Each structure stands twice: as structure tokens, then as C-alpha cells.
């Protein structure tokens, strides 16, 4: 560890917006603290732990996707974040809302094109004299942008809150004209959409609110390329390309994706592999180069549809929950050579882990976005005969407390 752990935050909004919690630390100090926390959480399992291998990232400009809140301040639209309001003294009336809007002027962890496109979008919106977004029937609420690793292509989603079941034709026409003009200033823009959210309520949450599709412009997604870290051979391509529709989950660190993909898929061979919680096929597409058959399982849309459109004869896309798929695989006595799983923050859970234990693949690679839920799953799996062979910390979210772990288990 270096002698100095502290750093001057590079973002003027550090401490206010809440998105980055660690900019006051040097990057080596951040990595050291995350590794210490992960080791502590894993030691609770009582397992014999292999040496934790660290995979650092470029600390800034790494995000390929970002989502801002939009709000009108003094007649001008701004991008920013909703932040908690400190409780008021008890002798005052309670606030109607416990959130306040914080306008921002930059975001150092985002790929440069994302903030440049945001500024251009706002400038164009604020100079537009029409009223297509300035009425009480549809209110701009959020702006999401997604770019390729090389920043050559860009997708945009504008979220509107409205009680209407559909938007007027004129708004659709105005949106198309707006996007045409925006592309003259941001030539990387290849597609955009308006997504419709319900009117604002106290239950406001990205996890519970399901947007409805609205008007679209251009191409409905990105062809995202992840480069290979190894020399090209007959069985290893220079890059793997993915079709990522607007709104589909995809890992956000554009710098570490090649390293993550290489660890999970390179040097893995056999007849059958399972890719569980597969998304658009980040791992399964690469595994298809090494396995005769790959079963990729995903239930969430639009990722499941994108996965099904994969044109690989040995990749079978299955729209099902992981629990239902594994229950069927147990009955059919399928025994893959490799299982890769990348569950949500809630973890795989005891039922899924019990089924994994019954299937008993020789190698199981668990990609975890939650070090709090991972230990319980590891205890269940190792109790069934697996050995924890490798642990890796991928710092996919520098400047934040988020930890991504890859655990490799063998039997």
C-alpha cells in the first residue's frame, strides 16, 4: 500500500450526487479496501480460500452506459441525480418528498461521448421553441445513453412520464425531427426511443416501474464488440460481437470486459456448457467457439429476444428462469462440462445451488455482483462436493463501493 491513501476528488459533485463514494481515496487504496472487504466476507464461510486475484480498471471514463434524471430549473432542462434530503428539525412540517434534484456539469466515470451527447441533447432541447416536451401531459424524467467500447456508436432513450396510453402523432414527428438534428451534432447517434413511464408517485423506482415502448428513431440497438486478449487462432476469433437492444442488460465497464470474458471462456472446452442468467449472451457466444453445444438461459426482455436471434447453430437460447431450466435438466440427466452463472444481486439462492449440486458439472464459474449474497451460495456448493479453486475481484466500478467477484469451483 502507498503511504498516501487520500486523493483530491476530480469530480465537483463528489459527496453530493452519491454515485461515487471513493473518489477521496487513491485508486490503489480503493482496490486495497475492496479486496480486504471481500476477503473478510469470504472468510466467514470457513472455506479454504485461494489467493484473491485482482483485476484493476482504468479508474475513470470506463462506463459505457449512464442514466440521468432530467428536470427543468429556471426554465432550462438539466441532467442530474436525485439525492436524499437531510431530515428537517422536528419542529417543522415534514417534507412532501425526501429527494431533491442535483444538476451536474460533468461525470468523470462516464465515457466522454456520453456526457458530450448529454450536453448536446440539453442544448438542443433548451433552444427548441416548440412545446413538444413542455406540457403537463408528458414530462421528461430520465435520459439514458449507451455507447460501444470505442465510442463510435451511440443509443439514446428518453423516458417520459405520462398518464396517456399513447402519444400524439405530432410529438412523434417532433421527436424524429429532433433526433435528425441531434445526429448532425452527434454523428455517433444511430438510434433513439421514447419510453413511457407512469405518472410520478411515492413508489418511484427503476426496479419496479416497467416502461412502455413509445416512438423510435433509427436502429434499435448496438453491435457491441469485445476484443480478444489472446492471439487469433483457428478456434479463437479476434473479437466477439453482440447485438444489444436498447434497454437490455450489458456489463458497463468497457475497459475490463475483454479480461472478464477471457477468464470465463478462454481455455474452456468440452461437449456441453450451460450459461445461466445469460443476458444477451456475453459468455455463451464466446463459449460456442469451444463447445459442441451451449445452452444459454435468460428470462428477461429484451435480452432474451436478442439471445434468441443469435445465429450460431450450436448455441441454444432458452427463455426460462434458471430454476425452471435446471429442474428440467436434472430430470433429463444433463451433465454439462461447464456451467457459468451470473445471477442478479439477490444471488443464485439455495434452490438453484441445490440443483447445480445435483447436476455436478466438473467446473462451475460463478460471476457475482454481490459479495454479501455470494458466501451463502458458496457454502451450499462446497458442501455438495465442490472446491473453491480460484477467486477473482474485477473492479468493474472504480470510485464506487461495488465489488464484482468471479469464483471458480471444481470437483
Contact (CB, 8 A) for 281 and 242: yes
The residue written with cell numbers 451460495 in the block is 377
Q: Which residues are known to be catalytic?
A: 369
The rounded distance, in Å, linking the Cα atoms of 171 and 409 is 54
Give the residue from 329, 352, 347 showing the smallest Cα distance to 407.
347
Phi and psi at 262, nearest 5°, equal: -65, -45
Listed in order, strand segments (DSSP E) in 9-138 are 52-55, 65-73, 76-84, 99-103
DSSP string covering 362-377, please? SEEEEEES-TTTHHHH
Structure-block grid coordinates of residue 65:
452506459
Phi and psi at 409, nearest 5°, equal: -115, 140
The rounded distance, in Å, linking the Cα atoms of 157 and 68 is 11
Pairing, β 363-368 against β 338-341: parallel
Give the residue from 340, 233, 236 showing the smallest Cα distance to 282.
340
| Contact partners, residue 70, CB within 8 Å, separation at least 6 | 77, 78, 79, 140, 141, 142, 143
End-to-end CA distance of the chain: 36
Amino acid at each position: 500500500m502507498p503511504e498516501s491513501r487520500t486523493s483530491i476528488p476530480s469530480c465537483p459533485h463528489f459527496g453530493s450526487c452519491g454515485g461515487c463514494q471513493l473518489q477521496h481515496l487513491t485508486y490503489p487504496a480503493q482496490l486495497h479496501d475492496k479486496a480486504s472487504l471481500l476477503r473478510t466476507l469470504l472468510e466467514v464461510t470457513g472455506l479454504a480460500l485461494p489467493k484473491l486475484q485482482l483485476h484493476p480498471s482504468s479508474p475513470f471514463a470506463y462506463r459505457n452506459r449512464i442514466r440521468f434524471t432530467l428536470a427543468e430549473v429556471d426554465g432550462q432542462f438539466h441532467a442530474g441525480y436525485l439525492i436524499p434530503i437531510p431530515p428537517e428539525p422536528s419542529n417543522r412540517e415534514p417534507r412532501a418528498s425526501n429527494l431533491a434534484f442535483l444538476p451536474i456539469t460533468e461525470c468523470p466515470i462516464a465515457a466522454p461521448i456520453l456526457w458530450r451527447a448529454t450536453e448536446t441533447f440539453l442544448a438542443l432541447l433548451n433552444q427548441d421553441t416548440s412545446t413538444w416536451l413542455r406540457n403537463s401531459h408528458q414530462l421528461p424524467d430520465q435520459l439514458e445513453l449507451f455507447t460501444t467500447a470505442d465510442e463510435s456508436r451511440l443509443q439514446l432513450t428518453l423516458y417520459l412520464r405520462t398518464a396517456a396510453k399513447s402519444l400524439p402523432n405530432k410529438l412523434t414527428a417532433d421527436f424524429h425531427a429532433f433526433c435528425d438534428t441531434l445526429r448532425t451534432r452527434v454523428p455517433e447517434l444511430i438510434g433513439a426511443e421514447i419510453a413511457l413511464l407512469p405518472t410520478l408517485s411515492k413508489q418511484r423506482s427503476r426496479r419496479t416501474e416497467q416502461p412502455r415502448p413509445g416512438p423510435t428513431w433509427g436502429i434499435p440497438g448496438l453491435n457491441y464488440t469485445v476484443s480478444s486478449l489472446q492471439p487469433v487462432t483457428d478456434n479463437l476469433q479476434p473479437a466477439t460481437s453482440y447485438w444489444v437492444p436498447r434497454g437490455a442488460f450489458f456489463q458497463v465497464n468497457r475497459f475490463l470486459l475483454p479480461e472478464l470474458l477471457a477468464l470465463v471462456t478462454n481455455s474452456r472446452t468440452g461437449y456441453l456448457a450451460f450459461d445461466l442468467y445469460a443476458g444477451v449472451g456475453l459468455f455463451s457466444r464466446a463459449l460456442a467457439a469451444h463447445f459442441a453445444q451451449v445452452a444459454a438461459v435468460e428470462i428477461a426482455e429484451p435480452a432474451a429476444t436478442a439471445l434468441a436471434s443469435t445465429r450460431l447453430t450450436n448455441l441454444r437460447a432458452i427463455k426460462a428462469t434458471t430454476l425452471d431450466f435446471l429442474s428440467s435438466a436434472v430430470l433429463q440427466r444433463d451433465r454439462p462440462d461447464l456451467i457459468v452463472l451470473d445471477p442478479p444481486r439477490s444471488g443464485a439462492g439455495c434452490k438453484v445451488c441445490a440443483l447445480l449440486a445435483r447436476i455436478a458439472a466438473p467446473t462451475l464459474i460463478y460471476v457475482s455482483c454481490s459479495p454479501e449474497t455470494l458466501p451463502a451460495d458458496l457454502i451450499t456448493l462446497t458442501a455438495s462436493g465442490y472446491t473453491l479453486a480460484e477467486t477473482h475481484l474485477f473492479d468493474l466500478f472504480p470510485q464506487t463501493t461495488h465489488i464484482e467477484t468471479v469464483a471458480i469451483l471444481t470437483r
